[in-house]
Amino acid sequence: MKQKTRNTHPKIGHGYMGKISGFPEGLGIEYATKKDECQKFTRLMWPDGNERFCDVIHSYTKIASELNQMLVRMLFESYGLKKDHEPLLNSTNYLLRLLKYGRSLGETNVGFKAHMDKTFLTLLYQNPVNGLEIRTKEGEWITYEPSSPTSFAVIAGDVCMAWSNDRIKSSYHRVVVSSEEDRYALGLFTFLDGVVQTAEELVDDEHPLQYKPFEHQKLLHFYESSNDPDKRDINIMKTFCGV
């Protein structure tokens, strides 16, 4: 425990988050595609070293980030965007979060409260304990069941929604763990540097511009500093940068 709390970070959810009701225990590694960042984190947790752990999280992040790159390319292609996807990928930062959903004796509320991610995309990988639920347009909660042990869940975040001019809605999701077993998940969260603008081709008479250009970092700050108790459940993008 002492080791985990050393992983401090000024941004909420980027460092260590102790387990509180309605949320998992989490450890964040910012810029985890960079080996030296994984090394820094590993040294913090294991002052005597743990090369294997470092290699595993680094190679995991690299593979998952490549999957993210493929997804972004697919997004550009599927909307027939002429602009190159490289600038978006080059401005992408990756945060890896290690999440543990453990159950203390008699505890009933194990999971993650419903929310929308403040990312561009989130890639989730879990151990065999299910729990992730997505709300459909009709308001029904469906459980994510990986089709194979190597499946990832891909979640569109608020920034993707703004970039796509609402063509892609950010996913409203939660985690409800009913199993007695611990659930572990690895989340790779993507954040963009600089100013994010809606893709030009996705704005036309039928789809007028919904969001003004904004900075992803400022969105995170806006969200963290909001005292609105419903901020997890509303489209905060409308308040933050809606046209």
Ligand X SMILES: O=C(O)CCC(=O)C(=O)O
Q: Which stretch binds ligand X (CB under 6 A): 1-9, 47-55, 124-132, 206-214?
A: 124-132
Asked whether position 23 contacts ligand X by CB under 6 A, the answer is no
Under 8 Å between Cβ of 205 and 145: no
Instruction: Identify the sign of the CA torsion 77, 79, 84, 88.
Output: negative
Asked whether position 112 contacts ligand X by CB under 6 A, the answer is yes
Under 8 Å between Cβ of 185 and 113: no
Asked whether position 15 contacts ligand X by CB under 6 A, the answer is no
Asked whether position 158 contacts Fe ion by CB under 5 A, the answer is no
Q: Closest CB to ligand X among 114 and 209?
A: 114
Shortest spacing between CB 196 and ligand X, in angstroms? 19
Cβ neighbours around 107 below 10 Å, total: 11
Q: Closest CB to Fe ion among 37 and 117?
A: 117
Asked whether position 175 contacts ligand X by CB under 6 A, the answer is yes
Q: Could you say which of 158, 173, 188, 237 contacts ligand X (CB under 6 A)?
A: 173
Shortest spacing between CB 117 and ligand X, in angstroms? 5
Work out the angle at residue 95's Cα, subtended by the Cα atoms of residues 45 and 124, and round it to the nearest 5 degrees: 100
Q: Where in the chain does DSSP place strands (E)?
A: 16-17, 25-30, 92-101, 111-116, 121-126, 132-135, 141-143, 153-156, 172-176, 183-192, 195-196, 214-215
Asked whether position 159 contacts ligand X by CB under 6 A, the answer is no
Asked whether position 185 contacts ligand X by CB under 6 A, the answer is yes
Strand partners, 135: 141
Asked whether position 170 contacts ligand X by CB under 6 A, the answer is no
User: Residue 144 contacts by C-beta under 8 Å, 6 or more apart in sequence?
Assistant: 130, 132, 133, 134, 153
Asked whether position 133 contacts Fe ion by CB under 5 A, the answer is no
Token pair for 83: 């602009």
Q: How many residues bind ligand X, per CB under 6 A?
A: 11
Under 8 Å between Cβ of 121 and 155: yes
Asked whether position 14 contacts ligand X by CB under 6 A, the answer is no
Work out the angle at residue 45's Cα, subtended by the Cα atoms of residues 41 and 181, and round it to the nearest 5 degrees: 105
Fill in the per-residue mask, 83 to 102: x = in contact with ligand X (CB under 6 A), - = not in contact: --------------x-x---
With CB cut-offs between 5 and 8 Å by kind, which of ligand X, Fe ion, none does residue 14 bind? none
Q: Which residues bind ligand X (CB under 6 A)?
A: 97, 99, 112, 117, 124, 126, 132, 173, 175, 185, 187
